[in-house]
Chains A and B, each alone.
Chain A
Amino acid sequence: MPDDTIAAIATARGRAALAVVRTSGPEAIDVVNRCFRGADLDEAESHTAHVGFVENAEGDDIDQVVATVFRAPNSATGENIVEVSCHGGDLAPKMVLQSLLDHGARMAEPGEFTERAFLNGKMDLAQAEAVADLIHATSTKAHEASLTHLKGRYSDLLEDLREELLNLCSLVELEIDFSDEDVEFADRERLENLLDETEEILGDLLDTYPTGEKLKDGVRVVIGGRPNAGKSTLLNALVGHDRAIVSETPGTTRDEIEAEAEIEGVLFRFVDTAGLRDTADEIEAEGVRRATESIEEADVLLYLYDLTVGLDSEEIDFLDDLSGDDSTVQPFLLGNKADAAPDHPVAELDGLSALKLSALHARDDADELQPLLDRLTDTVAEHLSRAEASPVVMNQRHRQHLQDALDAVRQAREALDMGVSGDMLTLDLRAALQELGAITGEITNEDVLDQIFSRFCIGK
């Protein structure tokens, strides 16, 4: 058990009516009691709230507060916890925290409350990781997805999956270890069906990873095009401030410029790039090389061209390649400088969604930008509805284990088709179980036999 007591402000900084300062540890109640004027918290029962004043080290009142007492082990961390609700704003919470620190608490490290909860068995690994994701969540939707994990829906799903696999394993083991028993053994078809089901659930879960990844890390939108097409102007419009230098000299942007914006709760990472052209300038050429690389790694490409200039054949070929089936980038064609070319229609290319706009006006006119924003949110609409419907895999480590579990299940399925005997089959099934265990932190051992004994009449 950690023997020190930690404290931290638990609510977000900024203007709010109330803030919460949390203390956890064996001495949490004593620490608060030392600077709390009101009821004697030592006597307080768990889950009770008490009005009083918090004093500073000099004995002066800081703020009127409500102190809520949670006693170990029935608290979020499993230790004694006191939550002090004080007035919001910048000052009061800080002074309350300082007083707690002066009275024996230690400032908590980031994530330390979670760590204690995990160590005390209040959370499984998946949940603890969800808290970490939550702390680092950058967008509203990512936050929601983390919350789903925290509430355990994701853990529940994994648990169901594990049950399913255990069930399968126990059916196979039953046949091996209890072949001389008078019980009914599962036929191959039943095993096949169960395996197919498991494979499907695993596959579906894995398919959510691109969603999870996008929610967590943001959608990567690269802005590309010829020099002077207005790329930097568009970036500035999208993020709402002058992030990139705009000038009428072609070849202004060299280094990539990244800026983030949250659109409809989703994080987008915009990348402005150097204009694409052959150039003798060494530095610009390097910029062009990087721009090309960036485009390949993008989720979405906004390809800008100047309507007054038009698209050249090289650009058309380039876009053609990108809209092919095996491309991982989703391209949009944007005809820019609509203000200067009201009569030029935007070029129509096969399978390419196109839009006409004025980046210049979009900076100050929300309506000008809206159609583009809509297209952008459309690209993740599918992901969003999925995230609302079911838990998504957000963590790279989980994805790897789930993938390995899926591979093992597929191997088992193949082995079953080939008529491989049960003792070999379970090799794969157990491997899959182990992968799932690695996510929730459980190590499987007795579970298979437990299942068998609880479900079948075994033994002479």
Chain B
Amino acid sequence: MHQDYFEYDVIVVGGGHSGSEAAAAAANMGADTLLITLKLNQIGQMSCNPAIGGIGKGHIAREIDAMGGLMGKVTDRAGLQFRMLNKSKGPAVWGPRAQCGRAEYADCMREELEATDNLSMRADMVTEVLTTDDGETVTGVRTNLGQTFRAPCVVLTTGTFSNGVIHVGEKNFGGGRMGENASHGITGCLHDLGFESGRLKTGTPPRVDGRSIDYSVMEKQPADPDATAFSFLTDDLPPVDRQLCCWLTDTTPEVHETLREGFDRSPMFTGRIQAKGPRYCPSIEDKIDRFSEKDAHQLFIEPEGYRVREVYVNGFSTSLPEEVQFRALRQVPGMEDAHMLRPGYAIEYDFFPPYQIQYSLETKSVDGLFFAGQINGTTGYEEAAAQGLMAGINAVQKLRKADPIVLKRSEAYIGVLIDDLVAKGTDEPYRMFTSRAEHRILLRQDNADLRLTELGYKLGLASQERYERMKEKERAIDVTRETLADTTVTPEQVDDYLRSVGTSTLNQPRPAIELCKRPEVDAEDLLRHAGIYDETVTEAPGMLSAPRLIEIDLKYEGYIDRQQDMVEEMEEKERWPIPDDFDYESLENISIEAREKLSKVEPDNLGQASRVPGVRASDISVLMVLLKNEGVEPLPKERDLDLDAMGGDGQSFGVSRETAVEVG
């Protein structure tokens, strides 16, 4: 336990998806951590859609887990329905998704946090960020109850709560989420410290009593037998028949007509809401307005929990007057008798344009102050959680006087996310897509552990168990691969199978590994058919069999190699550091726009600089020449992770306290 009730190593403000990960990471890495959040029973609350993962987002969730974060484990425990999206596409873009029990998720998250050593919690509102007199170094926070808590690192994750305003039709009132108060004070305090803030908006659909819905006219979307768990520590999911289903229905022209009647009272159209919302989560009014030629929009009816009948009407996000929402909803096929439990609404909130943070998520102007989650301009639980995790890690790295951990774009979606935020900034809520990751062929959800667990382990975050499982998987893959290369199969053994999947048969014995490369061949089926599964396969822990794991690498070998080459080419630039106080204004030979943008973003290296919008290829060439002339040396290729050098200040850092997972 901590030495003093008012003194900590790290204080995390906000117990949403971002704050939970930040607090757990910092505490698991050995820092005395205090999590202050408005309400303890709302920890890890899903504000919107009760689902984790999806395409791109599922990748992030797996990466958080691979590093030793909580999201994957909690999702596995709270999941109601698991699916694997994009199964018909290339394996790099498969996306795990789980429908979760809203209350279950929050409960499990709180349980995980309570099981974490070094972590204390407090229900309170932070109203002030405290700094040294010069405003350059954070010293702690002051709360609404008048208490002062001190720490050299403070992570702010206040989500949609800072000066939140909720809109339903012409009504609006302060709030951070429906039924919860907004938080005030922090934005003003940050303005005084020189920060700039902006406003963003998002929205959510109505909730309906499932007992009032006629599912017989809807299409059923059952759980997916091919789904895998989110956590690399989870071996089983609940049987498919015990999982819940979702239901699909569509809006109709009549529904649209009714909704249109409310347009003149929509805060979006009357201009009452000025802030920008996410283009990929448009409200239903936005959809029918912008794509008026479409006379139906798909709606997903999603369960909210095993124990409650409440459902979530995904696709019907709206801030129209409640009465209009209600009338329109009742025109949707199957919803004629729908009982609305709560209307949809839009919310506006403060965010801090992310050019103000460094790649470590520490702010540029206040030492020890970190920003993570929605306040950096993102949207989504996974995006928030990923930043929380990295902020927690980097707060501890700072205490250790070690280099911050910055994941590369070629290493993780998390790296893409943070690089996009810092280098490109955002003026609308930012969400992850696989198309944002130029190296996505390497960044598969099934290999997140191979990419990141070692790092998490070395940082003292991922547990021994997690590390060993990853190593075992790595070994299983290698051994199986070798065995398959050494094993020949005869035409008699496999021709039947080859014929059945429509590929050419053999005229002489061939190494099994060659057949696995064929696009039509399913490695596992092939080996079973040939009767050599058990003798050739060394099983890997986790939910994917070893043959499945290797066949992806085999089938896409050529592309993977090419992608590796591209990564190396790109990383040449990443290795050129740009000195901290580099004076762009004095550069005569790069464009004016580039000078301005680069001075604002302050990239750490040439690669990052090249991604700043407005910077042209020629500008980068000029910069490169300048750096060379100034005698700047390229950095080594590998990240320096000398553990001994990390525990600098004699604290018991470096031993993971990550808890084991239990999934029923």
Contact present for B278 and A459 (CB under 8 Å): yes
| CB contact under 8 A between A459 and B281, given known A125-B616, A449-B436 | yes
Interface string of A117-132 (1 = CB under 8 A from B): 0111100010000000
Interface residues of B in 426-451 (CB under 8 A from A): 433-436, 438, 440-441
The residue that B56 contacts in the complex, of A175, A177, A421, with Cβ under 8 A, is A177
The residue that A459 contacts in the complex, of B280, B294, B559, with Cβ under 8 A, is B280
Contact present for A446 and B424 (CB under 8 Å): yes
Number of interface residues of B (CB under 8 A): 55
Q: B247 in the interface, Cβ–Cβ < 8 Å? A: no
| CB contact under 8 A between A179 and B290, given known A443-B611, A449-B435, A449-B436 | no
Contact present for B435 and A427 (CB under 8 Å): no
Interface string of B273-291 (1 = CB under 8 A from A): 0000011111000010011
Contact present for A430 and B593 (CB under 8 Å): no
The residue that A125 contacts in the complex, of B55, B278, B618, with Cβ under 8 A, is B618
A177 to B437 Cα, complex, angstroms: 11
A430 to B435 Cα, complex, angstroms: 10
Contact present for B591 and A120 (CB under 8 Å): yes
Q: B99 in the interface, Cβ–Cβ < 8 Å? A: no
Residues of A within 8 A of B86 (CB): 176, 179
Closest to A444 in B: B438
Contact present for A427 and B297 (CB under 8 Å): no
The residue that A177 contacts in the complex, of B297, B314, B433, B591, with Cβ under 8 A, is B433
Residues of A within 8 A of B294 (CB): 457
A289 to chain B, nearest CB (A): 41
The residue that B613 contacts in the complex, of A177, A182, A445, with Cβ under 8 A, is A445
Residues of A within 8 A of B291 (CB): 457
The residue that B280 contacts in the complex, of A175, A442, A458, with Cβ under 8 A, is A458
Contact present for B592 and A427 (CB under 8 Å): no
Q: B501 in the interface, Cβ–Cβ < 8 Å? A: no
B203 to chain A, nearest CB (A): 11
Contact present for B281 and A423 (CB under 8 Å): no
Task: Please classify the interface of chain B as helix (H, G, I), strand (E, B), loop, or mixed, using the class held by over half of its residues.
Answer: loop
Most buried by B among A182, A424, A442: A424
| CB contact under 8 A between A453 and B90, given known A441-B616, A443-B610, A460-B315 | no
Residues of B within 8 A of A460 (CB): 49, 281, 298, 300, 314-315, 317
A437 to chain B, nearest CB (A): 7
Contact present for A119 and B589 (CB under 8 Å): yes
Contact present for A119 and B591 (CB under 8 Å): yes
Q: B563 in the interface, Cβ–Cβ < 8 Å? A: yes
Contact present for B559 and A427 (CB under 8 Å): yes
Contact present for B617 and A179 (CB under 8 Å): no
A443 to B56 Cα, complex, angstroms: 23
Closest to B563 in A: A427
Q: B194 in the interface, Cβ–Cβ < 8 Å? A: no
Contact present for A437 and B592 (CB under 8 Å): no
Interface string of A132-156 (1 = CB under 8 A from B): 0000000000000000000000000
Residues of A within 8 A of B588 (CB): 2
Contact present for B611 and A445 (CB under 8 Å): yes
Q: B637 in the interface, Cβ–Cβ < 8 Å? A: no
| CB contact under 8 A between A430 and B297, given known A421-B90, A457-B290 | no
Interface residues of B in 80-94 (CB under 8 A from A): 85-86, 88-90, 92-93
Closest to A415 in B: B559
A441 to B280 Cα, complex, angstroms: 29
A279 to chain B, nearest CB (A): 51
A437 to B85 Cα, complex, angstroms: 33
Q: A180 in the interface, Cβ–Cβ < 8 Å? A: yes
Contact present for A423 and B279 (CB under 8 Å): no
Contact present for A424 and B616 (CB under 8 Å): no
B434 to chain A, nearest CB (A): 6
Contact present for A121 and B591 (CB under 8 Å): yes
Contact present for B92 and A453 (CB under 8 Å): no
Residues of B within 8 A of A280 (CB): none
Q: A438 in the interface, Cβ–Cβ < 8 Å? A: yes
Number of interface residues of A (CB under 8 A): 42
Contact present for B424 and A445 (CB under 8 Å): yes
A438 to B296 Cα, complex, angstroms: 42
B259 to chain A, nearest CB (A): 15
Interface residues of A in 174-219 (CB under 8 A from B): 175-182
Q: B531 in the interface, Cβ–Cβ < 8 Å? A: no
Contact present for B279 and A458 (CB under 8 Å): yes
Contact present for B89 and A443 (CB under 8 Å): no
Contact present for B55 and A176 (CB under 8 Å): yes
Residues of B within 8 A of A181 (CB): 298
Interface residues of A in 382-422 (CB under 8 A from B): 418-422
Interface string of A422-437 (1 = CB under 8 A from B): 1110110011000001
Contact present for A443 and B282 (CB under 8 Å): no
Q: B417 in the interface, Cβ–Cβ < 8 Å? A: no
Contact present for A179 and B55 (CB under 8 Å): yes
Contact present for A441 and B85 (CB under 8 Å): no
A12 to B472 Cα, complex, angstroms: 76
Residues of B within 8 A of A424 (CB): 90, 441, 556, 559
Contact present for B440 and A438 (CB under 8 Å): no
The residue that A118 contacts in the complex, of B250, B440, B591, B615, with Cβ under 8 A, is B591
| CB contact under 8 A between A182 and B611, given known A119-B590, A177-B55, A422-B89 | no
The residue that B89 contacts in the complex, of A1, A119, A120, A176, with Cβ under 8 A, is A176
Residues of A within 8 A of B559 (CB): 420, 424, 427
Residues of A within 8 A of B225 (CB): none
| CB contact under 8 A between A426 and B435, given known A125-B616, A445-B424 | yes
Interface residues of B in 607-628 (CB under 8 A from A): 610-611, 613, 615-618
Contact present for B280 and A453 (CB under 8 Å): yes
Q: B562 in the interface, Cβ–Cβ < 8 Å? A: yes
A175 to B55 Cα, complex, angstroms: 11
Contact present for A443 and B592 (CB under 8 Å): no
Contact present for A443 and B616 (CB under 8 Å): yes
A315 to B279 Cα, complex, angstroms: 74
Contact present for B89 and A421 (CB under 8 Å): yes
Contact present for A423 and B592 (CB under 8 Å): no
Interface residues of B in 298-313 (CB under 8 A from A): 298, 300
A419 to B519 Cα, complex, angstroms: 9
A56 to chain B, nearest CB (A): 31
Contact present for A457 and B89 (CB under 8 Å): no
Contact present for A423 and B89 (CB under 8 Å): yes
Residues of B within 8 A of A442 (CB): 616-617
Interface string of B586-601 (1 = CB under 8 A from A): 0011111100000000
Residues of A within 8 A of B617 (CB): 125, 437-438, 441-443
A30 to chain B, nearest CB (A): 21
Closest to A458 in B: B280
A424 to B290 Cα, complex, angstroms: 32
Starting from the known contacts A176-B89, A460-B49, A460-B317, 12 additional A-B residue pairs (CB-CB under 8 Å) come to: A177-B434, A177-B435, A180-B85, A182-B250, A421-B89, A423-B441, A424-B559, A443-B617, A446-B424, A448-B435, A449-B433, A453-B280
Residues of chain A whose beta carbon lies under 8 Å from any beta carbon of chain B: 1-2, 115, 118-121, 125, 173, 175-182, 418-424, 426-427, 430-431, 437-438, 441-443, 445-446, 448-449, 453, 457-460
| A/B interface sample: 28 pairs, CB < 8 A | A121-B592, A121-B593, A125-B618, A176-B89, A177-B55, A177-B433, A420-B90, A420-B559, A422-B89, A422-B90, A423-B90, A427-B559, A427-B562, A430-B438, A441-B617, A442-B617, A443-B611, A443-B615, A445-B613, A446-B613, A448-B435, A449-B433, A449-B435, A453-B279, A457-B297, A459-B278, A459-B279, A460-B49
Q: List 7 A-B pairs, minimum CB-CB distance, nearest first.
A: A421-B90, A182-B298, A423-B90, A457-B291, A460-B315, A441-B616, A459-B280
